Amino acid sequence: MKDKNISVKNAIKFGDIWTRLSMLVMGSGLFMHKQKTKGVLVFLCELAFIFYMATLGISRLALFGSLGTQAQQEVWNEAKGVYEYVQGDNSQLILLYCIVTLFVIAALVVLWIIQLRHSYKLQKQLEEGKKVPTFIEDIKNLFNRNLHITLMTLPILGILVFNVVPLTYMISMAFTTYSKEGNHLVLFDWNGLTQFIKVLSLKGSIGKQFSSVLKWTIIWAIFATFLNYILGMILALVINRKDTKGKAFWRFCFILSIAVPQFVSLMIMRTMLQPQGAVNVVLQNAGLITEPLPFWTNATWAKMTIIIINLWIGIPYTMLQVTGILQNIPAELYEAAKMDGAGPITIFFKITLPYMLFVTTPYLIASFVGNINNFNVIYLLSGGGPTYVGDSAGQTDLLVTWLYKLTINQQYYNIGAVIGILTFAILSVITLVTYRNSKSYKNEEAFM
């Protein structure tokens, strides 16, 4: 009997009375098919679910549509002669409890399917005269044949509890009025796609800010990714030449910047480039300039400065990546190209670069995504400034730094959730389209 035939449809259609009964009384099929311990445990899970829904779940889901209606009120206490606050509904907790309840329901549905299929499988084994494994044997199999289930259960539960549930909760915020606007921080309602329309219409304050920040984010990601990659590759090629002496020393000099924590380097750079910082003071004392250079006070200067400083930080990482790959390119390819009369430029574009792109395409995609979400460089250097294109977005803000300001500083949680969703959508499309059209995906066995 193949596992593909053990389906819910077949279990309902061809199952015996006990298998079909397990559709209502979960675990009954397992219990009657000689797996009593499993049957009892599954039945207890069903009882726990019924108890939870009867005491908390149903009442919480009843508020899912409104997210609460009772606001906090002041009530005069005659005995004490003061006003007392009467706690109202808290939409944040109501939404969180509802989402948790929906996940509990989904978990029970999964358990219902598993126990129904397993009951039908045990039924078929008994009909074929096969031995049904005991509960102890199943436990032993979890550390032998089914070890993958044991090893993956805890990580999957961790991802579900600490990633999926919080993400679902935050995504749902995008469809509400949850913000300080209108004092909707405790009691708020659903408002559908209102915030998405406000952002994507590119009109009004939020729309114009989104358009400006998105353009700079894409420009920044392209420059930060490909300049680091190209210059890091050139640096690796120069250091790895046969004529270069002291290769280890030169690698050490560039790797040294990696050893210093990034936030320390960025804060030092920010201080040095201030109007009264070390760089401007030295240049003025040397008579090279009469006024401080506007590294952080002019938007164009700030953008160029951020890109250049990021090169100093990122090039060593690329150099290390490329160095290992260069040493694995077959020397025969270079020798054959030289015998055919190819020069250094031709060899680079026909052999080195195609090989590098084939191997490092996933790294390039990851770097591009990482630069779009590069919070540290922007926030620690310019803070998104120097000038603003709206209420909160600065000329050098990325989507991720603007998202931080919207939520932490201004408490526009619903708009922040929309920005987060749109950022994820943009990154997903770019990543999938780029990778699926790359040679790394289409031809894994070769590089040319």
Residue 83 pLDDT class (50, 70, 90 cuts): low
Q: Which of 409, 406, 399 is nearest to 378 (CA)?
A: 399
240-266 pLDDT, tens per residue? 888 888 888 888 888 888 888 888 989
Give this prediction's pTM. 0.82
379-426 pLDDT, tens per residue? 999 998 888 877 788 899 999 999 999 998 889 999 999 999 999 998
The SS3 assignment for 82 reads: strand
Q: Which residues contact 162 (CB under 8 A, 6 or more apart)?
A: none
| Extents of the domains making up the chain | 3-141, 196-442
pLDDT at residue 1 tops 70: no
d(CA 335, CA 330): 9
Q: Which residues contact 441 (CB under 8 A, 6 or more apart)?
A: 435
- Residue 122 confidence (pLDDT): 93
Annotate 329-349 with b (16+ C-beta within 10 A) or e (fewer): eeeeeeeebeeeebeeeebbe
The SS3 assignment for 246 reads: coil
3-29 pLDDT, tens per residue? 557 889 999 999 999 999 999 999 999
d(CA 411, CA 404): 9
Q: Which residues contact 27 (CB under 8 A, 6 or more apart)?
A: 38, 39, 40, 41, 42, 43, 46, 115
Q: Which residues contact 60 (CB under 8 A, 6 or more apart)?
A: 94, 97, 98, 101
84 forms beta bridges with 75
CATH H-level superfamily of 196-442 = MetI-like (1.10.3720.10)
